[in-house]
């Protein structure tokens, strides 16, 4: 749903680059070789807006969408229609069964209980195998019985724990998964998330499941050249002021001016997801200049040093430096958190919106 539906002007907006989104999906689809790339749009499309993302990726040719729960499936089901498939990664609980049976989406069955629950539905499903992450999924040993025999399994999948690192666990998981595949009959096999795609053809199978990299995240340097930033937070200057040497700024006076200089107070704070971990390390951009965050970030406000652009005035817009790898380094937050933290107060403006 478009959570932000007010008509009032807001002092902060999220510019969302449609071309970058589509170009990222195409790049990941290409990098997936003979496998086709789907799209993880869980958590409202990593905070950017699942409906708007699904619409654009449907046009681009994406045919598999991954959400966490049945509400998230319902949120996009009218867009995917009969043309694409939705997989519900958290599977299906008793409390969800009737909703699941009424939904066009398929569950990713993660446990023997879930398999028993779905067995008589006559409906398609996916099956998740635990190849070593020990999060969701059936252990390979659980596949020996006949429980899976009468399921209509579209995808059998597994999930990589450390694909963003060069560690033995990747090859170990691959070997475990390959072994387990001998025991499951499914139409398609899926293993790789964004980082897994960059691990090469052995990891691609039939379908890949990128999320982060669609939205501009770069989990491995191999993706650096092709992945473009999608989400660009921007906000207005609410006030500028001249600090005198010795003046303290913000909560708990975490910044004291050493010399006289100008600062701007801009309309973005931790309630927008711009967390305190950017204090002293984040920056904004105006006229191509980097403007450092000064002192503590407030709920709705951040102070920045505007010595490099003294012409900045109330009402001017500045961009938040939000290149995900760099912002992750600056804040200590993961690239995933940087996306999903982005608050609901931003007006979300897609570049191709009418």
Ligand X SMILES: *Cc1c(COP(=O)(O)O)cnc(C)c1O
Q: How far is the CB of 91 from ligand X (least distance, A)?
A: 11
Q: Quick one: tokens of 197?
A: 């795609």
Q: How far is the CB of 32 from ligand X (least distance, A)?
A: 12
- The question of whether 322 is a catalytic residue gets the answer no
Q: Which is nearer to ligand X, 265 or 339 (CB)?
A: 339
Choose the catalytic residue: 42, 66, 270, 336: 42
Q: Which is nearer to ligand X, 229 or 236 (CB)?
A: 229
User: What is the secondary structure of 52-76 as a DSSP string?
Assistant: HHHHHHHHHT--EEEESSHHHHHHH
Q: How far is the CB of 72 from ligand X (least distance, A)?
A: 12
Q: How far is the CB of 226 from ligand X (least distance, A)?
A: 14
Q: Which is nearer to ligand X, 268 or 339 (CB)?
A: 339
Asked if residue 254 lies in contact with residue 279, where contact means CB atoms within 8 angstroms, the answer is yes
User: In the block, which residue shows the tokens 């096999």?
Assistant: 189
Asked if residue 316 lies in contact with residue 263, where contact means CB atoms within 8 angstroms, the answer is no
Question: Which residues are near ligand X by CB under 6 A?
Answer: 40, 42, 66, 89, 159, 193-195, 209-212
Q: How far is the CB of 100 from ligand X (least distance, A)?
A: 18
Q: Which is nearer to ligand X, 209 or 348 (CB)?
A: 209
- The question of whether 248 is a catalytic residue gets the answer no
Contacts of 156 (CB under 8 A, 6+ apart): 126, 127, 129, 181, 184, 186, 188, 189, 190
Residue nearest to ligand X (CB): 211
Q: Is 165 helix (H, G, I), strand (E, B) or coil?
A: coil
Q: How far is the CB of 7 from ligand X (least distance, A)?
A: 33
CA angle (265 as vertex; 263, 267 as ends), nearest 5: 155
Task: Classify the phi-psi angles of 56: left when phi > 0, otherwise alpha if psi is within -120 to 50, otherwise beta.
Answer: alpha
Choose the catalytic residue: 119, 251, 322, 336: 251
Q: Which is nearer to ligand X, 89 or 309 (CB)?
A: 89
* Angle separating helix axes 18-31 and 50-60, nearest 10 degrees: 60
Residues forming beta bridges with residue 16, ordered by sequence position: 231, 350
Give the sign of the dihedral formed by CA 153, CA 106, CA 69, CA 101: negative
Q: Which is nearer to ligand X, 137 or 282 (CB)?
A: 137
Q: How far apart are CA 201 and CA 301, in angstroms?
A: 46
Contacts of 48 (CB under 8 A, 6+ apart): 14, 16, 215, 230, 231, 339, 342, 348
Q: Quick one: tokens of 280?
A: 């002293």
Q: How far apart are CA 64 and CA 85, in angstroms?
A: 5
Active site residues: 42, 251
């Amino acid at each position: 749903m478009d959570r932000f539906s007010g008509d009032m002007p807001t002092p902060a907006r999220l510019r969302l680059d449609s071309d970058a989104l589509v170009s990222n999906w195409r790049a990941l689809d290409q990098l997936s070789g003979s496998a086709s790339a789907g799209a993880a749009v869980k958590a409202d499309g990593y905070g950017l807006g699942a409906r708007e993302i699904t619409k654009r990726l449907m046009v681009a040719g994406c045919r598999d969408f991954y959400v966490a729960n049945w509400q998230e499936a319902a949120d996009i089901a009218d867009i995917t229609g009969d043309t694409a498939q939705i997989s519900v990664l958290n599977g299906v609980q008793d409390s969800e069964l009737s909703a699941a049976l009424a939904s066009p989406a398929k569950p990713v069955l993660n446990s023997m209980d879930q398999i028993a629950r779905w067995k008589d539905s006559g409906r398609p499903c996916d099956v998740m195998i635990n190849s070593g992450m020990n999060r969701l999924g059936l252990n390979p040993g659980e596949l020996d019985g006949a429980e899976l025999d009468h399921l209509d399994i579209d995808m059998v999948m597994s999930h990589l724990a450390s694909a963003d690192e060069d560690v033995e666990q990747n090859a170990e998981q691959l070997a475990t998964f390959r072994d387990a595949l001998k025991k499951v009959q499914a139409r398609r096999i899926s293993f790789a998330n964004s980082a897994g795609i960059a691990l090469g053809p052995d990891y691609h199978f039939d379908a890949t499941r990128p999320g982060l990299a669609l939205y501009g995240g770069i989990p491995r340097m191999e993706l650096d050249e092709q992945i473009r930033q999608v989400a660009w937070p921007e906000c207005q200057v609410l006030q500028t002021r001249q600090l005198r040497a010795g003046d303290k700024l913000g909560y708990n006076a975490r910044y004291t001016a050493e010399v006289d200089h100008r600062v701007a107070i801009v309309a973005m704070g931790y309630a927008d997801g711009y967390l305190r971990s950017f204090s002293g390390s984040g920056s904004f951009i105006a006229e191509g200049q980097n403007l450092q965050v000064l002192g503590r970030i407030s709920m709705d406000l951040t102070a920045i040093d505007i010595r490099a652009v003294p012409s900045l005035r109330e009402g001017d817009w500045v961009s938040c430096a939000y290149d995900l790898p760099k912002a992750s380094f600056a804040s200590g937050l993961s690239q995933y958190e940087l996306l999903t933290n982005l608050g609901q107060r931003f007006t979300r403006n897609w570049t191709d919106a009418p």
